[in-house]
Amino acid sequence: MKYFLSFLATTLIIAHSQAQSPKTSNDSLSYALGQDLAKYIKRMDLPLNNELIIHAISDVLGEKKVLYSDEQKDQIIRLGMQRIQIEKEELAKKASLKFLEENKKKPGVKVTEEGLQYIVLKEGSGSKPSLQDSVVVHYKGTLSDGKEFDNSYERSEPLTLTLNSVIEAWKIGLPMMKKGAKYKFFVPYNLGYGDRESGPIPAFSTLIFEIELLDIKFTNSDVI
C-alpha cells in the first residue's frame, strides 16, 4: 500500500509540474506502476476526465474532504458504467444499421427476406446442402471496419461443420450455395452474435464473411 500511495503521489506531481525523470528505485517503481495503471484505465475505454481523476486522488491522499460518500461513490460508478454501456450499444446498433443500409445499394448486392445481404462471387454446380447436412468450407470473416477476426485460408485448413450448429446467417446463406460456389455475406447483428461479445467480435457487430463451399456431406451418405 505504501508503494501504491507513492506512485499515485508521483503521478500527481508529474501531472501538475514539469515531467521529471526517476532518480531512485522507488521513483522507477512509482512510474512503472503509474504506467501500468494508465494502460488499465485506457483499456476500459471510458469517456473520463483525467483532471478530475487526479483531483480525486489528490483529495484522498491529502486527507481533504471528498465530494461523495462511499455509498454515493459506489452508486455513481454503478449507474455510470451502466449508462456508458447502453450508450455504446446504441452507437454500435446505429453504425450497424447505417452500414447495411448503404451497403445494400451497391451493385450486385442481394437481400434475403431475413435481411441477410450477399454477393455471388462465383457460382457452383450441382446440389445445395440442407440444414441436416455437413459442409466443408473455406472462409474469411471481418468486421464492417475491415478488421479480420478469422481466416481458414491462412490456416490452410478448411472447416467441416453441420449447418444446424452455426449462426443464423450461415443457416440462411449456405443452403443457397451449390458446391464450388463462393459468396460474400453481410450479416446483421441479429443474424450473427447479437447483443453478446464473442472473442474478438464486439456486441451488435455487422459481420462480413467470404465463404467458399468446397464439399457437401449429405446425411444419407456413407461419408457421414
pLDDT over threshold 70, residue 34:
yes
* Four-CA torsion 168, 169, 174, 176, nearest 10 degrees: 110
In a domain, 93, yes or no: no
Per residue in 118-135, pLDDT (tens digit) is: 999 999 998 899 999 999
In a domain, 126, yes or no: yes
Do 36 and 122 fall within a single domain? Answer: no
Residue 207 domain boundaries: 107-217
In a domain, 87, yes or no: no
In a domain, 78, yes or no: no
Do 122 and 176 fall within a single domain? Answer: yes
- Rounded (10°) angle between helices 25-43 and 2-16: 80
Q: Residue 222 has what pLDDT?
A: 42
Do 111 and 57 fall within a single domain? Answer: no
Do 114 and 29 fall within a single domain? Answer: no
Do 112 and 212 fall within a single domain? Answer: yes
Do 56 and 136 fall within a single domain? Answer: no
In a domain, 29, yes or no: yes
Q: How many domains does the chain have?
A: 2
Q: Residue 42 has what pLDDT?
A: 83
Name the pLDDT band for 220 (thresholds 50, 70, 90).
low
| Average pLDDT of the chain to the nearest whole number | 87
pLDDT over threshold 80, residue 198:
yes
Do 111 and 42 fall within a single domain? Answer: no
In a domain, 50, yes or no: yes
CA distance 14 to 8: 10
Q: Residue 19 has what pLDDT?
A: 56
Do 111 and 39 fall within a single domain? Answer: no
pTM across the whole model: 0.72
Per residue in 53-101, pLDDT (tens digit) is: 888 877 887 889 999 999 999 999 999 999 998 998 899 899 999 999 9
Do 133 and 54 fall within a single domain? Answer: no
In a domain, 42, yes or no: yes
Higher per-residue pLDDT: 112 or 85: 112
Do 26 and 115 fall within a single domain? Answer: no
Do 46 and 116 fall within a single domain? Answer: no
Q: Residue 11 has what pLDDT?
A: 55
Higher per-residue pLDDT: 213 or 35: 213
Do 134 and 209 fall within a single domain? Answer: yes
CA distance 59 to 66: 6
**Domain at 212, CATH number:** 3.10.50.40
- What 3 state SS string does the chain have? CHHHHHHHHHHHHHHHCCCCCCCCHHHHHHHHHHHHHHHHHHHCCCCCCHHHHHHHHHHHHCCCCCCCCHHHHHHHHHHHHHHHHHHHHHHHHHHHHHHHHHHCCCCCCEECCCCCEEEEEECCCCCCCCCCCEEEEEEEEEECCCCEEEEHHHHCCCEEEEHHHCCHHHHHHHHHCCCCCEEEEEECHHHCCCCCCECCECCCCCEEEEEEEEEEECCCCCCC
Which residues lie across from 135 on neighbouring strands?
Answer: 161, 216
Percent of the chain's residues with pLDDT above 70 = 89
Per residue in 162-193, pLDDT (tens digit) is: 998 899 999 999 999 999 999 999 999 999 99
Name the pLDDT band for 8 (thresholds 50, 70, 90).
low
In a domain, 68, yes or no: no
